[in-house]
Amino acid sequence: MSATTRLGLPEEILACLFDLDGVLTETAKVHAAAWKEIFDVFLHDRATMSGGDFVAFDDKNDYATYVDGKTRLEGTRSFLASRQITLPEGSPSDAEGMETVNGLSNAKNAIVTRRIREEGVNAYPGSLTYLGEVRSAGLHRAVVSSSANCVEVLKAAGISEFFEARIDGTTVIQQHLAGKPSPDTFLAAAQILDTSPKQCAVFEDALAGVEAGRAGGFGFVVGVDRVGQAAELHIHGADVVVTDLSQLLQTP
pLDDT tens sequence across 184-225: 999 999 999 999 999 999 999 999 999 999 999 999 999 999
Q: Which of 244, 242, 197 is nearest to 220 (CA)?
A: 197
Give the pTM.
Answer: 0.83
* Residue 103's pLDDT band (cuts 50, 70, 90): very high
Domain shared by 141 and 155, yes or no: yes
Domain shared by 10 and 51, yes or no: no
Domain shared by 114 and 12, yes or no: no
pLDDT of residue 222: 98
CA 82 to chain centre: 20
Domain shared by 48 and 62, yes or no: yes
Domain boundary among 119, 144, 165: 119
Domain shared by 139 and 229, yes or no: yes
Instruction: Give CA separation, 82 vs 30, 115, 215, in Å.
Output: 22, 27, 23
Q: Is the peptide bond before 181 cis (omega within 30 degrees of 0)?
A: yes
Task: Report the pLDDT averaged over residues 176-180.
Answer: 91
pLDDT of residue 1 exceeding 80: no
Q: Which of 188, 218, 205 is nearest to 14 (CA)?
A: 218
Count CA atoms within 13 Å of residue 248 on its CB side. 30
Domain shared by 150 and 105, yes or no: no
| Residues classed as catalytic | 19, 21
pLDDT of residue 144 exceeding 80: yes
Domain boundary among 70, 97, 119: 119
Task: Report the pLDDT averaged over residues 111-121.
Answer: 86
Instruction: Give CA separation, 34 vs 29, 64, 125, in Å.
Output: 8, 14, 24
Side chain identity at residue 43, one-letter code: L
When divided into structural domains, the chain yields a total of 2
Domain shared by 130 and 232, yes or no: yes
pLDDT of residue 148 exceeding 90: no
Domain shared by 242 and 161, yes or no: yes
Instruction: Give CA separation, 144 vs 5, 71, 204, in Å.
Output: 23, 12, 9
3-state secondary structure of 102: helix
Alpha-helical (H) ranges within the chain are 3-6, 28-50, 61-62, 72-82, 101-119, 125-136, 150-157, 169-174, 184-192, 207-215, 230-236
Domain of residue 192, CATH code = 3.40.50.1000
Mean pLDDT of the chain: 93
Domain boundary among 84, 119, 154: 119
Angle between helices 207-215 and 184-192 (to 10 degrees): 60
Beta strands 15-18 and 165-167 are unpaired
Domain shared by 165 and 57, yes or no: no
CB 249 within 8 A of CB 130: yes
Domain shared by 153 and 138, yes or no: yes
Q: Which of 81, 79, 86 is nearest to 63 (CA)?
A: 79
Give the list of residues 6+ apart from residue 180 with CB closer than 8 angstroms, or none: 69, 70, 146, 206, 208, 209, 211, 212
Structural domain harbouring 145: 3-27+123-248
Task: Report the pLDDT averaged over residues 46-66.
Answer: 91
Domain shared by 201 and 104, yes or no: no
CB 165 within 8 A of CB 192: yes
DSSP state of 247: G
Domain shared by 134 and 227, yes or no: yes
DSSP state of 71: -
